[in-house]
Amino acid sequence: MMQSWLFLAIAIVNEVIATSALKLSDGFTRPVPTIIVVVGYILAFYFLSLTLRCIPVGVAYAIWSGLGMVLVSVISLVLYGQKLDFAAILGMEFIIAGVIIMNLSTKSLSH
């Protein structure tokens, strides 16, 4: 089971890298960022598929999408200077809280 959580973390990191590189790919016109996007998504979905051997798809996807969105938003702030308003920050805090609640209290994790 611990290995599945590691696979999920690897999937999330690859998805965040790929999504962050999308802006740099300039509509897939720049080769290096485009390769990062394609390889990142391939690795992300591969490791997500391994995750689903032990973690239910609903739980894995909720964590994947929630943490991915928060991390991409933070990276966009740092790398691209894209500002987050109060509502965006509050929403991300709710997402993080939801992921924590889901992991601490759900019975869905036993497959």
The three-state secondary structure class of 108 is: coil
Confidence of residue 95 (pLDDT cuts 50, 70, 90): confident
Domain of 75, in residue numbers = 2-105
Mean pLDDT of the region 92-109: 79
Neighbour count for residue 59 (Cβ, 10 Å): 19
Q: Let me know if residue 16 belongs to a domain.
A: yes
Is residue 63 in some structural domain?
A: yes
**50 belongs to a structural domain:** yes
pLDDT one-digit tens code per residue, 2-14: 999 999 999 999 9
pTM over 0.75: yes
pLDDT tens track for 73-90: 999 999 999 999 999 999
Position 20 in a domain: yes
Where would I find the H helices in the chain? 2-25, 31-51, 57-80, 86-105
Instruction: Answer whether residue 110 is part of any domain.
Output: no
Task: Specify if 43 maps to a domain.
Answer: yes
In the chain, how many domains are there?
Answer: 1
Q: pLDDT by residue (tens digit) across 17-75? A: 999 999 999 999 999 999 999 999 999 999 999 999 999 898 898 899 989 999 999 99
